[in-house]
A and B are shown apart, each in its own frame.
Chain A
Amino acid sequence: MSPPPATSSPPLMIEARALGFTRRDEDVFGPLDFALRGGEIGLIEGDNGSGKTTLLRVLAGLLRPGTGTVQVLGAQPGSEEARASTIIMGHLLGLKADLSALENLRIGMGLYGRAADANPDAILARVGLDGYANEAVRDLSAGQKKRVALARLALLPARLWLLDEPYANLDRHGIALVNDLLAQHAAAGGAALVTSHGAVNFHQGVTCTVRLAA
């Protein structure tokens, strides 16, 4: 599960020990042990209802862990240190429909800051939204909305990405784009945890798999 210890291992991004979550006294996911370091991409596998989204929300600090402990960048999930370097992309993308793609990116930068060499226009072009910068998000297709969210991901300085079904709604090029962004993020020392229900299109560089039983 975890890679062999290197001579100078990159920093721990997530460390979960016997992490479990219960909702109304029913176990959502059982005790989990896993660790994710900088430069690693983790995959969360499991069927519908196995608690993938819940796990990501616990790691983001949106839900309190039920049992066990979990640390994100050495801090409690949801603490200020953890929030500064974590970003979650869920089923709800968190884009304001009335604002343009560019304005939505600006909101993200206002809340999180901006990665060192990132430029909103260049990133919009990279995700294939050249010419859509001033289009209201309401008028974009589902796939294009997803691309705006991906652009935000690349634009912000978060080191840990929590991606819930990032491939949903995307065409072949979009899937390649996600893989591309992930590879680049890992190369820069970031880490990502990605959920998928079974059939995934992701091959390269998965270094850790967390399997959830339904």
Chain B
Amino acid sequence: MLPVLYAIIVATLFPFALGPEHALLARIAGGVVLVTVLLAMLLALDNVFRGDLDDGALEQMLLSPQPLSVLLAARMLAYWLVTALPLLLVAPILAYMLGLQPAVQPVLLLALLLATPLLALLGIVLTALTAGTRRSGMLLSLMLLPLAVPIVIFAAGAVGAAQQGLPWIAPLAWLAAALALALVLAPLACATALRIALDT
């Protein structure tokens, strides 16, 4: 629940920083919620392998006869369910508090529904790469930023287009295509990354 709390705190700070002017907040609401959710997900990313690494469970996973990529796919799903799903539940509330038009809410939710699994998949691949290092929080943000840029652009682009009453399907379709690709490739890449980082 920590990421949810974090997202609420960050989103709450924006009106204090920018002033309570409704028009301004409404215009940036979609982007603020997207970035907030991304940062909150990043917060939990560093811990994805930490526990398993510390108690040796990761070794048992690596050495079991099951395909590692399938085990990691399960780990990615678990991360999304535990971290992203609660964020998806509070995101509409945060967007509403910031004054996003109700008509745009479904687009924001759809954008988050596509962007959060994509971030989870890519983020865990990068986390696996840092598994052999001691502290990696800051490094992980640096590594994730270039991958997050297109995701944020397309997700926020769809929300922005919907706010202006323009067609918003195209950027979401790109996100969906990227997600379909990542669903297949990310677990394999993650298995490779983990074996590199743990030197096996």
Contacts and interface: CB of A to CB of B under 8 A. Distances in A.
B161 interface: no
Interface of A: 60-64, 78, 80, 83-84, 86-88, 90-97, 107-108, 111-113
Chain B interface main SS type? helix
B73 to A, nearest CB: 15
Interface stretch (B4-12, B55-63, B80-88, B96-104): B55-63
Contact of A93 (B56, B63, B66): B56
B133 interface: no
Contacts of B56: 90-95
A97 B71 CA distance: 20
Contacts of A112: 64-65
Given A62-B198, A90-B59, A92-B55, 4 more contacts: A61-B63, A93-B55, A97-B55, A107-B57
B55 A61 contact: no
Contacts of A90: 56, 59
Interface of B: 51, 54-57, 59-66, 71, 198-200
Nearest to B57: A94
Chain A interface main SS type? loop
Contacts of A87: 63
Contacts of A92: 54-56, 59
Given A78-B200, A111-B60, A83 B65 contact: yes
A108 B60 contact: yes
B74 to A, nearest CB: 11
A93 B56 CA distance: 6
B152 to A, nearest CB: 34
B167 to A, nearest CB: 47
Q: List 7 A-B pairs, minimum CB-CB distance, nearest first.
A: A92-B56, A111-B64, A94-B56, A84-B65, A94-B60, A94-B57, A83-B65
Contacts of A62: 59, 62-63, 198, 200
B148 to A, nearest CB: 31
Residue from the set A95, A111, A112 with the largest chain B CB neighbour count within 10 Å:
A111
A88 B55 contact: no
Nearest to A60: B63
5 contacts: A61-B200, A62-B62, A83-B65, A84-B65, A96-B57
Given A96-B55, A97-B55, A63 B200 contact: yes
Contacts of A97: 55
Contacts of B55: 92-97
